[in-house]
Chain A
């Protein structure tokens, strides 16, 4: 961390900086002591327009035990704006979450949520939408929740506009309707729901490798509530619903439900803040966050992931086939096998990356099975294409209508392999299947072998990121087994060896190149102490 000011500096008269605390999205935060001895946090706001300070000024006189208090806004000699705030000695929830990767006990979560809800309620009652609720903004000081960074939303919106892809952290808490630009205080309810989920499980419900992916999940995927204690499930369902009209209308309602779950015997006191009927409700629509998930963005993101995978698959296929050829001394079959491995693995990789499971299946693609047959049929079609490609590589003259037919008989792929002497091969495939398939037309041999291999097995399962192992030997063995069963279909020993080896290696290539996320085992929660 590089801070502009160091211990002992006095950017504002009367305030002596002791140390830097952190670098936020919109400036540096320092710990400072006033001449009188008051400890404060100084936030150097790197924004020049006075108009942007209005949001802060609106919040300056808010008083609530669960809010980080703002003391003053000052301007130094150089025209920099400084926000003087209460110094919170505790830790941000982000630090606490990282210490509790499986979440905290529901009693504690309920207690924290109560504080959070009170703070949000206070903001909402004053017509302020926080818009950037996240663990880094919420502190725990002596067991008391303190919400900070409110009133700076406009600045945050701008900083995110500039660097959306870099600042992935905040998109985890972003309500789906933010992408439409038309939203209200219920985005805070949604964020509070995500925070409650994270308190209970240690994870945010929607994780991903890029901002686009996460935003997409916010828009389309139902959160997986199986890891949440079951009494919280209806609350989170209602808080995380995509349509704000079906969400909790106020944070109070949600807090009441949470309190009822945590302390079923003693109903929680209603939140103390009474709403003044005439509280001005500031529209936030004039500060739309310019984040919209467009289909081009999703397409770009998937496309870039896919091209990376395809590129790796070329390398993986090359290494594997080379190794295979070295071991089995099959150099004559090497190029053919390499291209078939590539064709087979691409016909698995491309559809499984472009046709992602939708809805809640996106969360756990490995469990998605209801469109299994559609996928199988798609794969079978691609298997046919691979078969045709194998036929092409084997040098069969394609009987295309625009090609002049030969005067004399040409071995068309729809004739069977003419009977020849039994070929004895020293490879085991050859020994097992010494006799050649002379009863089926050659094209049928190829199509049925590759088509069935793709139909029988659920190839896409080996590409989902939440598969149990990166490289499952069982999956490879499965391919080997079925391939062996169907091997009689291929016309000759040479083609059998190539066909068998290429599909087995394609299965390895698919698994090796597809990104994989290790599953965090869900452990039983124990009561954990609040960290002071």
Chain B
């Protein structure tokens, strides 16, 4: 009986949620958000490559509105851009050697941007988790102090056989108020 119920429950859950959970659709390269290529300039080719990578990271962070995930160059090399090619040197006045340029093209053969977004989601989740754990810890602490005040009042009242009921009540209420105020302060100051 229990097994049947468990199966029925989980299957119904599946059906219940099915309409709103379409499979992730095939994503095409988001041209609107990202330029096709990025070019970096530098005194040497190496520096130009580095500048181009930095620019690419900036474009992606801006374009995909990343909030938590920090792209690394390694990730960029591996997943996001092709080998790249030298661009047109840029001659700058008063400088003898022209600036080198390097141009990267974002890959569109595999949907790396969804992976980046997913990683950003994960990183955001991680941040929020830390935040929420702190909140919960404060709430549990406050609740425990409240409980302690209540239980302590009852136990001490029993122990003293009701001789100091008024004092104990006062103490209990003040502890509880302090705990509540403390929690509230945490909430306000934490915001």
Contact = CB atoms under 8 A, between A and B. Distances in A.
Interface of A: 165-166, 303-304, 307-308, 310-311, 314, 335-336, 339, 342, 392-397, 406-411, 414-416, 418-420, 440-441, 443-444, 447-448, 451-452, 455-456, 482, 485-486, 489
Given A448-B13, A456-B5, 20 more contacts: A308-B154, A311-B151, A335-B133, A335-B137, A394-B125, A395-B124, A395-B129, A407-B65, A408-B64, A416-B23, A416-B24, A418-B24, A419-B24, A440-B17, A441-B20, A444-B13, A451-B13, A452-B10, A456-B6, A486-B6
Given A415-B21, A441-B17, A452 B6 contact: yes
B147 interface: yes
13 contacts: A165-B158, A307-B150, A308-B154, A311-B144, A311-B147, A335-B137, A395-B126, A395-B129, A407-B65, A408-B117, A411-B118, A416-B23, A486-B10
Contacts of B118: 411, 418, 420
A424 B175 CA distance: 49
B173 to A, nearest CB: 15
Contact of B132 (A314, A393, A416, A419): A393
Nearest to B7: A452
A269 to B, nearest CB: 49
B21 A448 contact: no
Nearest to A343: B136
Nearest to A448: B13
Interface residues of B, number: 39
A473 to B, nearest CB: 20
Interface string B101-140: 0000000000000100110010011111101110011001
B2 A415 contact: no
Interface of B: 2, 5-6, 9-10, 13-14, 16-17, 20-21, 23-24, 64-65, 114, 117-118, 121, 124-129, 131-133, 136-137, 140, 144, 147-148, 150-151, 154, 158, 161
Contact of A448 (B9, B114, B128): B9
A314 B144 contact: yes
Contacts of A416: 21, 23-24
A418 B111 CA distance: 13
Those 3 A-B pairs whose CB atoms lie nearest each other, nearest first: A395-B125, A395-B128, A395-B129
Contacts of A448: 9-10, 13
A482 B124 CA distance: 32
A393 B20 contact: no
A308 B148 CA distance: 8
A484 to B, nearest CB: 13
A418 to B, nearest CB: 5
B24 A415 contact: yes
Contact of B21 (A406, A441, A485): A441
A456 B117 contact: no
Nearest to B154: A304
B148 to A, nearest CB: 6
B9 A336 contact: no
Nearest to A373: B5
A396 B125 contact: yes
B13 A455 contact: no
Nearest to A165: B158
Contacts of A418: 24, 114, 118
B65 A414 contact: no
Nearest to B9: A452
B10 A489 contact: yes
B127 A395 contact: yes
Given A311-B151, A410-B121, A393 B133 contact: yes
Contacts of B132: 392-393, 395
Contacts of A452: 6, 9-10
A414 B17 contact: yes
Contacts of B140: 314, 339, 342
B136 A339 contact: yes
A381 to B, nearest CB: 13
